[in-house]
Structure 1
Amino acid sequence: MKTCLVTGGAGFIGSFLVDELIRRGYSVRIYDNLEPQVHPGGKTPQYLNPEAEFIQADIRDYDRLKNAMEGIDVIFHQAAMVGVGQSQYQVKRYVDVNIGGTANVLDILANERTKVSKIIVAASMSSYGEGQYECEECGTVTPALRSEEQMAEQVWELICPLCLEKVTPMPTNEEKKLECQSTYAITKKNQEEMVLNVGATYGIPAVALRYFNVYGPRQSLSNPYTGVAAIFLSRIKHGQSPVVFEDGLQTRDFVSVHDIVQANILAMEDETLSGYFNIGTGQPRTIRGIAETLTTLYGKKVSPEITGKFRKGDIRHCVADISKAKMLLEYEPQVTFEQGMQELIAWSTTAESLDKFEEARQELEKRGLV
């Protein structure tokens, strides 16, 4: 059986991937620095699989990483700094970790003798910017980001860039131009393109999986820059209202961590497959609806706070067209929204949680990002 390296393997997605690989009989090596923003106090999480080899080290440490890559057949590159807002003022940190760390992985592949026969990188829907839209007159269109003037007037929806009529959001496919609106998105785009380029150069099949809004157990409830479901849940758990920007009717594609793992396994098992794929559900969910679902399921007497404010660079709608992943990966979402939310709530009742949302919001406001 193959030996797999999972960078970021102690994190939310990486740890579930590690569990599934071990369940299937693979040897697994975890490489993770236990980032304190994700793991409070830098503590090793209790859920870390004891059957995996664990190396605590930074992805920026070239020599430690080179040693960790010895004897590896497949690399799952999950390690990254995560968070759109924070990336706009911790620019160097995000670039150093996300782009510099990926450069280390690829430089080792290019210059050292390795056994690596496959590399799979965690890419992101954030690199799309706005999603795709349908105009009755003009067909499929891709409007630019909304102006600050438009959002200041609370005109939230987009119009056709050609005829200026109303447009309807539609699933976004992989051929839509990537139009990054944050440093985080830029680094994820760079990760994807670097991995695919070096893989093609050296004949190593490489796959970039463009994750949409991932949720599930183990997502840090103490990191105010992580996924919106976890941020909402941390607020609710502390009896505080989840804060929703704009009017709450913006839509995203919420996908269970278990389906993300499924996609990674499928990408590995097709040994010659290369390319980039959307990984989501294809089902739009409003941000307001997510907040209302979580408050109802948790049973707290709080209601979402709809602020009418906006964050610079925020998009309105983006939902995955997963037809390519269905056809070439044979990927099919298995976890329904209802199942996934119930699982998230059940886990959250005993999970460690620090509500740092207000601290993060004040930081963004101080910098003029809200």
Structure 2
Amino acid sequence: MPTGLTYVVTGGCGFLGSHIVDLLVERGTDISEIRVVDMKLRGYTKAPGKSGVKVKLIRGDVTNMAEMTEVCAGADVVIHTASLIDVFGLVSDATLWDVNVKGTETLLQCCVNEDVTGFVYTSTQNTIGPNRRGDPVDDGNESTPYDSSSLPLYYHVTKRAAEMAVLRWNGRSTNGGKTLHTCALRPGGIYGDGEMMTLKIWREMGVDPFAGPLQRISHPDVIGCCAYVGNYAWAHLLAARTLLTLPGNAGGEAFCITDDTPVQNELSTYNDICAPIGIRWHDSLLLPLWVLYLIAYLLALLRFLLKPFYDFVPRLTPGVLTLVNTNFYFNYKKATRLLGYKPLFTWEESKRRTREGLMAWKAREFSQTSGAAAFVSKSG
């Protein structure tokens, strides 16, 4: 394996990206520089685990060819985690396509132009489904037959298109006569210490999660699988190493990634993690599922009617209900076989780390006396 490697991590200040950067510093081998690329930069504060690893923060837009050319110049590996995540329809379809698809294609072209030989793309299991019918997948793998022709969210349509582009570019010759090797990793649900999507949604909606049981819109019998962010990050490191050392194992391949978090209802997993610090969910649905769907479709109709005058964006949609009420989970056997992936963090350690992160978040966002008022003030 060559020495003095330069890694590029797009979205490197985000939830997953920051954990990838941490692990590259702590456990990466033969790395001289890590270029952390993001639109919103946050300082890297962890002490380097290895001497001589330079962490460089770069503000950059993945849709900008000139900026990404500079970012990729002299790099060996690009780990592309940056994307716009939108499950409610807050972002226009055109913007989602520009960032998630065209931005990925821009990076791929820069890799070819600048002789980058490894490209790891953060995809999602939702590039496969569930479809609008809610057809389930239980303990599936990358070869499981599935009708993914009608994904319920446009965000997932863009992620699928970007993943397909990444895999198509595998094996292309670079301008300097090298070969670009690409692969895609498909995480499922994600939790961990840091800015989880759940925390962002609570902040945006002004919800006080400590005021009492949170409402449930997923049926308790629905089974899914989520995994700890550190294990997803570890899979990215292994994929990058494999592309550099054994590209025949990973090049042109997609890998479903999960860990040893119990396969159960996702809110049961969150209850296991959060209950000791005072966050829990109701045991039963807010309303019967058919009523929730009826409300969601009526809200969708209302949004359509109001669109010429006002951008009404409901948080309850038919697509969201389908996502959280469909059995849909995969195993990581292919990643173990071809990437050597095994979870780096146990379920118990993942719980502990996440719980400690939530406690720190609680201390920042809440005071003992002001409660929800302080939260709403900060989030508004």
TM-score by length of 1: 0.74
Matching residue of 1:278: 256
Structure 1 residue 49: Cα displacement: 7.2
What is the Cα deviation at residue 46 of structure 1?
6.2
For residues 7-18 of structure 1, the aligned pairs below 5 Å read: 7-18=10-21
Alignment of 1:61-100 (within 5 A): 61-86=64-89, 90-100=92-102
CA distance in 1, matches of 2:199, 2:280: 21
- Identify unmatched segments of 5+ residues in structure 1: 35-42, 131-143, 148-157, 159-167, 360-370
Counterparts in 2 of 1:342 and 1:84: CA distance versus 1, 3 Å: same
1:276 deviates by 0.8
C-alpha displacement at 1:336, in angstroms? Answer: 3.2
- 1:109 pairs with 89, 93, 111, which one? 111
Residue type of the partner of 2:187? Y
> Are the counterparts in 2 of residues 235 and 241 from structure 1 also a CA contact under 8 Å?
no
Once residues 338 and 236 of structure 1 are traced to their aligned partners in structure 2, the CA distance between those partners, rounded to angstroms, is: 26
**Corresponding position of 2:36:** 30
Residues 208 and 231 from structure 1, CA distance in 2 versus in 1: closer, same or farther, beyond 3 angstroms?
A: farther
Which of 260, 263, 269 lines up with 2:235 in the alignment?
Answer: 263
Distance 1:281 1:231 in 2: 29
- Tell me how far apart the structure 1 counterparts of residues 106 and 280 of structure 2 sit (CA, whole Å): 48
Please state if 1:127 is matched with 2:127: yes
Aligned pair count reads: 309
Q: Tell me what 1:216 maps to.
A: 192
Alignment of 1:163-202 (within 5 A): 170-176=138-144, 177=146, 179=148, 180-202=151-173
Worse-matched range after superposition: 22-31 or 64-73: 22-31
Q: Deviations over 1:40-70 (max 9, x none)?
A: xxx6256577841011122222211111111
Does residue 248 of structure 2 align to residue 246 of structure 1? no
Aligned partner letter, 2:224: R
1:287 aligns with 2:266: yes
SS at match of 2:89: helix
Post-superposition offset of 1:198: 1.4
8 Å Cα contact 2:225-2:266 kept in structure 1: no
Offset at 1:303?
4.4
Distance (Å, rounded) in 1 between the aligned partners of 2:45 and 2:37: 15
Encode CA deviations 1:72-97: one digit per residue, 9 max, x unaligned: 0000001001132236x532221121
CA distance in 1, matches of 2:276, 2:110: 47
Question: 2:325 aligned with 1:320, yes or no?
Answer: no
User: Matched residues in 1 for 2:129 and 2:152: separation?
Assistant: 6
Equivalent position SS for 1:340: helix
- TM-aligned CA deviation for residue 277 of structure 1: 0.5
Point out the structure with the larger helix share.
Answer: 2
CA deviations over 1:142-178 (Å, ceiling 9, x no partner)? xx6437xxxxxxxxxx6xxxxxxxxx85211112346
By how many angstroms is 1:109 displaced?
Answer: 2.8
CA distance in 2, matches of 1:306, 1:334: 35
Summarize the Cα distance change of 1:254–1:20 in structure 2 as closer, same or farther, 3 Å threshold: same
- 1:254·1:285 contact (CA, 8 Å) conserved in 2? no
Q: AA paired with 1:246?
A: S
Amino acid at match of 2:17: G
Q: CA deviation at 1:287?
A: 2.7
8 Å CA contact 2:223–2:266 kept in 1: the answer is yes
Q: Distance in 1 between matches of 2:58 and 2:284?
A: 42
Residue 366 (structure 1) aligns with: none
5+ long unaligned stretches in structure 2: 49-53, 174-178, 294-316, 367-371
Work out whether residues 81 and 97 of structure 1, in 8 Å CA contact, stay in contact via their aligned partners in 2.
yes
Distance 1:178 1:198 in 2: 24
Contact kept in structure 2, 1:242 and 1:305, CA below 8 Å: no
Deviation digits for residues 242-270 of structure 1 (CA, Å, limit 9, x no counterpart):
33213233222111111112111111112
SS in 1 for 2:200: coil
Comparing 328-337 with 99-108, greater Cα deviation is found at 328-337
Report if aligned partners of 1:251, 1:286 keep a CA contact under 8 Å in 2.
Answer: yes
Aligned counterpart, 1:337: 347
User: 2: CA distance between counterparts of 1:304 and 1:46?
Assistant: 40
Q: Secondary structure at the match of 1:345?
A: helix
* C-alpha spacing 1:80/1:304, structure 2 compared with 1 (3 Å): farther
Residue 323 (structure 1) shift: 1.3
Contact 1:196 1:207 survives alignment (8 Å): yes
CA distance in 2, matches of 1:326, 1:170: 19
Q: What amino acid maps onto 2:271 in structure 1?
A: E
3-state SS in 2 of match to 1:187: helix
Q: 1:307 to 1:90 in 2, by over 3 A?
A: farther
SS of alignment partner, residue 66 of structure 2: helix
CA contact (8 A) 2:8 2:77 kept: yes
Q: Distance in 2 between matches of 1:231 and 1:318?
A: 27
Report the secondary structure of 1:349's partner residue. Answer: helix
Tell me the SS of whatever aligns to 1:171. Answer: strand
Report how far residue 17 of structure 1 moved: 0.9
Q: Which runs of 4+ in 1 moved over 6 A?
A: none
- TM-score, with normalisation over the residues of structure 2? 0.72
